[in-house]
Structure formats: structure tokens, C-alpha cells
Structure 1
Amino acid sequence: MKMLRFISILEGTSLLLLLFVAVPLKRLMDMPEMVSLIGPVHGGLFIAFNLLLVLSVSRFGVSAKHALMGFIASLVPFGSYVFKAKILSKY
């Protein structure tokens, strides 16, 4: 569970960096390099977070409802932080 908590913070941070730093730099200052750098990192963390979420259902007794909430939270800015604070703190 510690790894899931850690990855949720990393995934949430990478999403925020992508949305609020890299994309504005690309669109406003014509600097697509940041998206090329942060995008794949975020993609890998997104996949790792959701794989760990699925594994935690079978190994740590996380309910399917909470896993679905975690997946939805990973799609929303700041969602991973809220998921970690509200849901993962119970496990």
C-alpha cells in the first residue's frame, strides 16, 4: 500500500506539471519539448498507478468501488491527492 500511495502522489504531480506547465509552454511560448519530456513520464506513472490499483484489489482487499474511484481520480487534476487522502488512508 505504501507504493500505491507514493505512486498516486507522483502520478498526480506529473499530471499537474503536464497540464499547468508543459502544455502552456507548448501553446503560449512554442516550446513543445516540455510536453515531449513530461508526457511519457506521466503516461508511465498513470499506467503504473492503475496497475497497482488493480493489484491492490486482489492483494490488499481494496474494494472494486474504491479502485474505480481511484481510476477516475487519476483522470482529474488533484484527484490523485484527494484519493490518497480520503480513500487510501483507510487501508
Structure 2
Amino acid sequence: MGLISEVLLLPFAPVRGSSWVIEQVVHEAERIYYDPATVRAELSRLEERLEAGEITEEEFDRMEDELLDRLDIAMGRSTGTDDGTAR
């Protein structure tokens, strides 16, 4: 049955291949987005922008909260205590 199903599903091979590539790209993007080192670097740049007067205190607080949420998710992912989704 394996050979027959492969032959019958052969026209869908490009779709399956594209799907796999998309999944890999999404996985890598999420890995980078939730990387603790990346988030910490963004927090540092955010603080520099505040000190330089490029953003207001309110903008800083909002962006800092978002970054800290990402860091929390990243730390949960690395310890395996979180499912990696936003709360």
C-alpha cells in the first residue's frame, strides 16, 4: 500500500515540500524571537533610547513590558515549564 499511496499522492509533493519549508522558517523565526539573548539585547537598546530621549517613559514602559513577557516565555521554553504560547 505504501508504494500505491506514494504514487497517488505524488502530485501533492510540491505542496507537502512547501509546507515543510514554511514550518521550518516559522520555527527558526520563533527561535530567534524568543531567544533570551536577543530579548536582553533589545531591552538594552530600549533603555539607551530612553536615555537618549528618543522615546517617552510611557513608550518605554509599554515596550519593556512586551519584552519582559517575551523573556518570560523564552525562559519557560528553555526550562520546559511553558508551552511557549503567549498568555
Common fold, TM-score beyond 0.5? no
| Structure whose CA Rg is larger | 2
Length-normalised TM-score, structure 1: 0.42
Length-normalised TM-score, structure 2: 0.43
Relative contact order higher in (CA < 8 Å, ≥ 6 apart): 1
